[in-house]
Amino acid sequence: MRGRKWDTVHEGRDGWLFLTGGSNSVMDRYARGFGHWWHLRAWTRLMEARAARAARLGIRCLHVVVPEKLSVYENHTRDLAYDPARASTRRLARRLAGKAYYLDLLAPFRAARDGPVPLYLRTDTHWTIEGCLLAYRAIMRALGAVPPADIAERPDYSEERVLDLGEKLPHRPSEILYRPKIQRDAVRVETGALLAAYEAAGRAQDLHVGAHVVYRNERAADPRRLVLFGDSCAHFAPILLTGYLAESFAEVHFVWSASLDWDYIARVKPDILLCELAERFLARLPTDDFDVAAGRRAGRGPARAVPAVPTLS
């Protein structure tokens, strides 16, 4: 069965699904050996260098790594041979303990995992509203910011869907997806050319890396400008972390990229540089040569207006 699409998914207990393979070889995030130690060492050095460069520009830099479901909910797996204690997020937390440029999300997620509402969707790699809110509140505390008093009371909507892990299985299990209607005060004031092209083609849901938006909020209690380089846990639509931050700060720029664009950062001159990344994407060390305007890494050929859909797993 090697090579079949559903080999990348582990079917755990009570309908819980976990990504175990894919293009980022998720189980390698729990590996032993010198190679993995060296890779995480390179990540810690990159984070330190980013923070130092941002400080020279007068910018506060903060990194957050969103833990894999495997790192939090091993109690929902079924006879899966891995050690969650060796999660990359756990090892980074030990390496970077006390560093102001790194926020450990694994510890609070594990502490809250047995609460009444799961922090992750059962059939998807992404967090629930509760998981996203937990991370958002931790980020706000780390940045010395206060969330809007009603931020957790915004209405939500639901729909039953086959989600990203469910669609990898032949029987395609579905799940009720809840998404918050966060946006109230923030207004999207700028849309990158790549996202604009996708939206014009009615394919915004297909765009990932390269998406770029700017939100402005004249009613925000916190006057600071924040630039967020992130992924689908943040998203360009105001439905997850980006939405919560846009309701909290005067201006939020979102760029879907693990690599940074330092020229863009220098032009925008934010007060805060936030780097968000799902744990599985630690598999690749960024080169920080992204071009926000082009929606791609520098040096690559010109991007098509509506390119092929990139791999997310």
pLDDT in tens, 127-149: 999 999 999 999 999 999 999 99
Distance CA 26, CA 229 (A): 21
Reading the block at residue 161, the tokens are 């869907």
Do 181 and 155 meet the contact criterion of CB atoms below 8 Å apart?
yes
- Mean pLDDT throughout 52-71? 98
Greater model confidence, 150 or 24: 150
pLDDT tens digit string along 175-203?
999 999 999 999 999 999 999 999 999 99
Burial status of residue 87 (CB atoms within 10 A of its CB: 0-12, 13-18, 19 or more): buried
Is it the case that residue 229 has pLDDT exceeding 90? yes
Do 93 and 44 meet the contact criterion of CB atoms below 8 Å apart?
no
With a pLDDT cut of 90, the percent of the chain lying above it is: 83
Type of residue at 94: R
Reading the block at residue 138, the tokens are 């931790």
Question: Sorting pLDDT into bands at 50, 70 and 90, what band is 310?
Answer: very low
Q: What is the pLDDT of residue 300?
A: 60
Is it the case that residue 312 has pLDDT exceeding 60? no
Q: What is the pLDDT of residue 309?
A: 39
Cα dist from 303 to 193, 212, 219, 288, 299, whole Å? 11, 14, 36, 18, 11
